[in-house]
A and B are shown apart, each in its own frame.
Chain A
Amino acid sequence: MIKDYRVMLALALAGFVLLALSLARQMQPEWAKHQKAYYKQLDTADAVVEIKQVNVNAPQGGIVVDRCQSCHVGASNPDAQGFGQPIAAHPPIVPGLEKDPHDFGKMGCAVCHDGNGRALEKHDAHGEYHGWPHPLLAGKTAQANCNRCHAMESGTLAGAEVYEKGRELFLEKACWGCHTIAGISTTSQAPELTDAGGKFTFEYLEESIVEPSANIKNSKMPRFDWVHETETVEALATYLKGQQKNRLRSADSAPIGYQKPPSIEQRIASPSVDAGRALFAGVAYEGSISRGGCINCHAFRNGDGDLAGGQIGPELTWSLRARGRTYIKEHILNSRSHVADSIMPSFKDYNDAELESLVAYLSTFDYKADSDDGAKLYDTYCLSCHGENLDGKGAVSTMLDPLPRAFRYQFVESYETRFKESIRNGIKGTAMPMWKNVLDDKEIDALIAYIKERSLAGAPRHFTRLEAPLPRPGDPERVDFKGKGLELEAGDPARGGEAYQANCTACHGKLGNGKGPNAYLLEHPLPRNLLNKEFFNQPAVTDERLYQSILLGVPGTPMPAHDHLRDQTILDIIAFIRANTTEESVQ
């Protein structure tokens, strides 16, 4: 029994000690320790240790509770200059002023630095726990929140240099081409960023800039090669974090630093090559803000053949020569007017002078590979899309839709007769331009010879494609033998639609846009978008070609033979595809 009493006593003691411990922790909070250290360093004897709370009024009637200065007690005291964190004085915000206009006693800390202003324990207060929407913005990244009180849409704010750098980058790097920020751009290519700062944390933004698929697995955003510099990423993320709908000050009540934006944005009025160059490079031209930045995605060659620019879209050295002015202008205004699946943003607010300037600048590209050597020609003109191994995986291929042709030996042996025509006239509805304006027949022949030689060099065996002429409806010689000798009739789009849903959707998709569930697992090239009007309405794409492609498959691609289908069914499917891609039909 005495043992029981001892155990009881020990447990009572343990319980008491632990409860006392929990109370002791409450009596000795973190902030009180910091305040005591602060007053000791200041040699203030009779200072009151207390929670220091600032309530910042918001225009919507709310307040921001801010208890940060319970720990950061020396923030606004210049005498605390050399003190360690967290009791040190805040460094000056606006450079060159004798007295900083920001009064922390009135505005607190969380207004600029985010975090959880209510909390009194470091981990909580800095918002470093899972799910807190606004974790601490330390150091200069706090410039993202200048926006909350100062209107910064135009004009620069002293002390917000990181934010300003981010804004320049956003314009210069043509982020605005795809992303809308109200007041800057209006596009629908990519998620709107007008409230990016309200929706995303700083880390999320940084991560998404560097590695677009980090947070959204199927992101289409290209990986830019200029983002690896920490400073750049930080500046851009700071700018984006600053895009917030929820502001603490309206335009009328904003403190100093606010300027009304200039009445109207300066635009280019008369076309010139210089203006075109500025647009192309994404830099300001004669007072206009940047409205271009082609170079971030497109590369070009100077007179010596040196390549410069981004590897996201096709190289532009030949584009104007190959495509002509009208096409280029239409393409800039609406890229999908010619290439159904182009991811290029639409620069639809360009005025005529700006378009003209760009075209004028593009027409200054005059590099030409002066050679008859197939290899040299291929490396110059074809490599960036079709790749050095002729596998269609060139540097810019990933963002092209449809993907560039992979020259597998089966494909080359089957279709080599088509090559000359394809190179000369291009393939409509795709990124393949008309080379006849750039290359002469001799050069084209040299290219074809080179492609054949390289592609067939490693071929394990010879490939022969069967002949399968298109059956004519009503032809008594060519009855549909699988249909028990029935005579063929003209294809019916309605029946074709049913056959399509039964046989084709797994790869080509229910809508026919080439994005069926299996498409993602297929090898390069991916299923054709069967709604691509430009492609299906060019002379080279005949009914016979479609018939053969369906019946025999397309060699060197994942498209298999469908010789189990009746001729009549294939004709119906062709009619269905044609009905979807007539000029009048809605894409």
Chain B
Amino acid sequence: MNELIAMAREFGNKLYYSIFRHRFDNTGLTKSKIMFSNVLLHIQPVKIHKRSVKFKTTMGLGLITFYLFLVLTLTGILLMFHYVPSTAIGPDGLPDAYSRMLNLRSNVFWGGFIRNMHRWAAHGMVAFVALHMLRVYLSGAHRGGREFNWVVGCILGLLTVFLSYTGYLLPWDQLAFWGVKVGTEIAKIAPGGAIIRGILLGDADVGGEALIRFYVLHVAVLPAVMGFLIAVHFFRIRKDGGLARPADTSKEKQIPDEEFGTVKNNSVFKAARSYKLVEIVKGKEPKVNEEVDQMMFAWPKLIVREVMVLLGLVAFLSLVSVFFDAPLEGPADPNHPTNPSKAPWYFLGLQELVSYHGFIGGIVIPGILAGGVMVLPYIEIFLESFSRTYRKNIPGVWFARERNLENALFICMYLFMLALIIIGVYFRGENWSIVYPWEHVAGGGH
């Protein structure tokens, strides 16, 4: 009998180790193994700086953006099982794409919820990209060797907007049609914009060809590019030595070491802490200063906190999706423009500018803003090099005093765009006239 138990245990052990390769004890070795023997976890370092898990450091904004991407991928794949990117008029006189939306809302099990989730997550992702960018800039995390990652991040931001925009057309309702129509009309103003517009739409106007192109971009091309760039973005964070932090963190208030869990030392050399010496990833000398003492095992604290953010996000998205339905209007009708016709909210600042002057508002200002922001760290380096002002840049410090001017300008830019978007969303009525939000007519801008 005992023999049988022993055999079963042996089998069980073999089975277990073939899958996990480690136990769940408190030794440093195990904590390291958990991280680097798991494909999902090994993206993160085995040991992290204590300040990385503090809320103040990142506010979880980048992580939330990434999770939203995952949620969008998952819900998007589910939606793909039902959606048809066709404007062909179905048997009941509605375009196929649109009647699929009606089906999602009425008789596809859980369809309405999944669509709501996808819609709200998409809007959320655009917003969180902007917030993440603001956080990075205000805490100076785009400097100190991380300049190119900022550029990658900016490209990711533009891709997010473009993904959201291509998805906006797919329901093929009035909101979608006229929102996209306005956006592509703005594109016409740019030099060469008409050609890009033609390539995007595949036609002289938004129609069936545009729908299939937007669909392919939305479900295949852009997510693939995005996935690759996300990998680059994360990889560079690792190679740049983790989250940006000032050289000396000894004065900062940190989460106490006990919070990171006990580490049992079962090494033969009780006094040695050999694992600390393999931490050398970057820098000219081994980390033998106080820095080493600040490094803690990522397992379990970091992982738990990341899961917390994910669970919180899913709970919040579910809450919103249960109680608020994604907008759907009448089927797209090229002959009856909605009045006002509004682009999606993240383009409404642009539309507001265009309403003042097509070329300056539609091309010059947004071009300067988008291009300028993308190369912003290099502008800073350029100015510093040529004026020989070698400032002590403090990466990872919120509102560093040396960076007051830059921070103020950056915040002003955000407030400017935010004001324009708020005007565009809430204060523009019929014929783009100024109205009060409480007189606002439904239509556009969701």
Q: Measured between alpha carbons, how far is A119 from B90 in the docked complex, in Å?
A: 16
Chain A proximity of B324: nearest CB distance (Å)? 12
Stretch of B135-143, B312-320, B360-368 contacting A (4+ beta carbons < 8 Å): B312-320
A130 in the interface (beta carbon within 8 A): yes
Q: Measured between alpha carbons, how far is A117 from B110 in the docked complex, in Å?
A: 20
Name the contact of B301 in the complex, choosing from A4, A19, A131 (C-beta under 8 A).
A4
Give per-residue flags for A23-41: 1 if the beta carbon is below 8 A from chain B beta carbons, else 0.
1011000000000000000
B311 in the interface (beta carbon within 8 A): yes
Supposing A18-B315, A18-B318 touch, asked if A62 and B110 sit within 8 A by C-beta, the answer is no
A4 contacts B305, C-beta separation under 8 Å: yes
Chain A residues lying within 8 Å of B315, measured Cβ to Cβ, are 11, 14-15, 18
A120 contacts B107, C-beta separation under 8 Å: yes
A22 in the interface (beta carbon within 8 A): yes
Q: Measured between alpha carbons, how far is A216 from B305 in the docked complex, in Å?
A: 58
A428 in the interface (beta carbon within 8 A): no
Give per-residue flags for B93-131: 1 if the beta carbon is below 8 A from chain A beta carbons, else 0.
100000100110111011011000000000000000000
Chain A residues lying within 8 Å of B286, measured Cβ to Cβ, are none
Chain A residues lying within 8 Å of B443, measured Cβ to Cβ, are 130-131
Cβ-closest chain B residue relative to A22: B113
Chain A residues lying within 8 Å of B329, measured Cβ to Cβ, are 129-132
A22 contacts B173, C-beta separation under 8 Å: no
A384 in the interface (beta carbon within 8 A): no
A131 contacts B260, C-beta separation under 8 Å: no
Cβ-closest chain A residue relative to B258: A1
Chain B proximity of A165: nearest CB distance (Å)? 30
Q: Which of B93, B99, B260, B331 has the most CB of A within 10 A?
A: B93
B318 contacts A22, C-beta separation under 8 Å: yes
A133 in the interface (beta carbon within 8 A): yes
B318 contacts A19, C-beta separation under 8 Å: yes
Chain B residues lying within 8 Å of A5, measured Cβ to Cβ, are 304
Say which size band chain B's interface belongs to: 35 or more
A12 in the interface (beta carbon within 8 A): yes
B304 contacts A8, C-beta separation under 8 Å: yes
B300 in the interface (beta carbon within 8 A): yes
Q: Which of B90, B106, B261 has the most CB of A within 10 A?
A: B106
A578 in the interface (beta carbon within 8 A): no
B192 in the interface (beta carbon within 8 A): no
Cβ-closest chain B residue relative to A23: B110
Supposing A19-B318, A22-B318, A124-B106 touch, asked if A118 and B311 sit within 8 A by C-beta, the answer is no
A63 contacts B174, C-beta separation under 8 Å: no
Chain B residues lying within 8 Å of A7, measured Cβ to Cβ, are 308
Chain B residues lying within 8 Å of A21, measured Cβ to Cβ, are 318, 322
Chain A proximity of B117: nearest CB distance (Å)? 9
A118 contacts B99, C-beta separation under 8 Å: yes
Chain A residues lying within 8 Å of B89, measured Cβ to Cβ, are 62
Chain B residues lying within 8 Å of A55, measured Cβ to Cβ, are 91
A26 contacts B113, C-beta separation under 8 Å: yes
B394 in the interface (beta carbon within 8 A): no
A192 in the interface (beta carbon within 8 A): no
Chain B stretch 253-295: residues in CB contact (< 8 A) with chain A? 258-261
Q: Measured between alpha carbons, how far is A65 from B328 in the docked complex, in Å?
A: 19
Chain B residues lying within 8 Å of A51, measured Cβ to Cβ, are 107
Supposing A62-B91, A124-B106 touch, asked if A18 and B304 sit within 8 A by C-beta, the answer is no
Give per-residue flags for A58-76: 1 if the beta carbon is below 8 A from chain B beta carbons, else 0.
1001111101000000000
A548 in the interface (beta carbon within 8 A): no
Chain A residues lying within 8 Å of B328, measured Cβ to Cβ, are 129
Chain B proximity of A61: nearest CB distance (Å)? 8
Name the contact of A18 in the complex, choosing from B93, B322, B338 (C-beta under 8 A).
B322
Chain A stretch 477-515: residues in CB contact (< 8 A) with chain B? none
Chain B residues lying within 8 Å of A61, measured Cβ to Cβ, are 91
Cβ-closest chain A residue relative to B312: A11
Chain A residues lying within 8 Å of B103, measured Cβ to Cβ, are 118
B307 in the interface (beta carbon within 8 A): yes
Chain A stretch 211-250: residues in CB contact (< 8 A) with chain B? none
A119 contacts B102, C-beta separation under 8 Å: yes
Chain A proximity of B410: nearest CB distance (Å)? 32
A335 in the interface (beta carbon within 8 A): no
Q: Measured between alpha carbons, how far is A322 from B125 in the docked complex, in Å?
A: 77
Q: Measured between alpha carbons, how far is A19 from B71 in the docked complex, in Å?
A: 14
Q: Measured between alpha carbons, how far is A199 from B212 in the docked complex, in Å?
A: 28
Chain A residues lying within 8 Å of B92, measured Cβ to Cβ, are 62-65, 117-118
Q: Measured between alpha carbons, how far is A117 from B89 in the docked complex, in Å?
A: 16
Name the contact of A25 in the complex, choosing from B107, B260, B322, B338 (C-beta under 8 A).
B322
Q: Measured between alpha carbons, how far is A65 from B106 in the docked complex, in Å?
A: 12
Q: Measured between alpha carbons, how far is A124 from B115 in the docked complex, in Å?
A: 16
Chain A proximity of B109: nearest CB distance (Å)? 6
Chain B residues lying within 8 Å of A58, measured Cβ to Cβ, are 93
B442 in the interface (beta carbon within 8 A): yes
Chain A stretch 124-153: residues in CB contact (< 8 A) with chain B? 124-125, 129-133
A4 contacts B106, C-beta separation under 8 Å: no
Q: Measured between alpha carbons, how far is A25 from B113 in the docked complex, in Å?
A: 10
A124 contacts B301, C-beta separation under 8 Å: no
B110 contacts A1, C-beta separation under 8 Å: no
Chain A proximity of B402: nearest CB distance (Å)? 35
B321 in the interface (beta carbon within 8 A): yes
Chain A residues lying within 8 Å of B314, measured Cβ to Cβ, are 15, 19
Cβ-closest chain A residue relative to B114: A22
Chain B proximity of A466: nearest CB distance (Å)? 45
A131 contacts B175, C-beta separation under 8 Å: yes
Q: Measured between alpha carbons, how far is A116 from B93 in the docked complex, in Å?
A: 12
Chain A residues lying within 8 Å of B300, measured Cβ to Cβ, are 1
Name the contact of B173 in the complex, choosing from A63, A64, A65, A131 (C-beta under 8 A).
A131
Chain A proximity of B86: nearest CB distance (Å)? 16
A445 in the interface (beta carbon within 8 A): no
Chain B residues lying within 8 Å of A26, measured Cβ to Cβ, are 109-110, 112-113
Chain B proximity of A329: nearest CB distance (Å)? 41
A121 in the interface (beta carbon within 8 A): yes
Give per-residue flags for A569-586: 1 if the beta carbon is below 8 A from chain B beta carbons, else 0.
000000000000000000
Q: Which of B105, B258, B338 has the most CB of A within 10 A?
A: B105
B191 in the interface (beta carbon within 8 A): no
Chain B residues lying within 8 Å of A129, measured Cβ to Cβ, are 328-329
Chain B residues lying within 8 Å of A67, measured Cβ to Cβ, are 106-107
Chain B proximity of A377: nearest CB distance (Å)? 48
B102 contacts A1, C-beta separation under 8 Å: no
Chain A residues lying within 8 Å of B113, measured Cβ to Cβ, are 22, 25-26
Chain A residues lying within 8 Å of B99, measured Cβ to Cβ, are 118
Cβ-closest chain B residue relative to A117: B92
Residues of A within 8 A of B (CB): 1, 4-5, 7-8, 11-12, 14-15, 18-19, 21-23, 25-26, 51, 55, 58, 61-65, 67, 116-121, 124-125, 129-133
In the complex, the 9 A-B pairs of residues with the closest C-beta atoms, listed nearest first: A131-B329, A131-B330, A18-B318, A11-B311, A15-B315, A120-B106, A14-B315, A22-B113, A63-B91
Q: Can you report 13 A-B residue pairs in the complex whose CB atoms are below 8 A from each other?
A: A1-B261, A1-B301, A8-B308, A8-B311, A18-B315, A18-B322, A58-B93, A120-B106, A124-B105, A129-B328, A129-B329, A130-B442, A131-B338
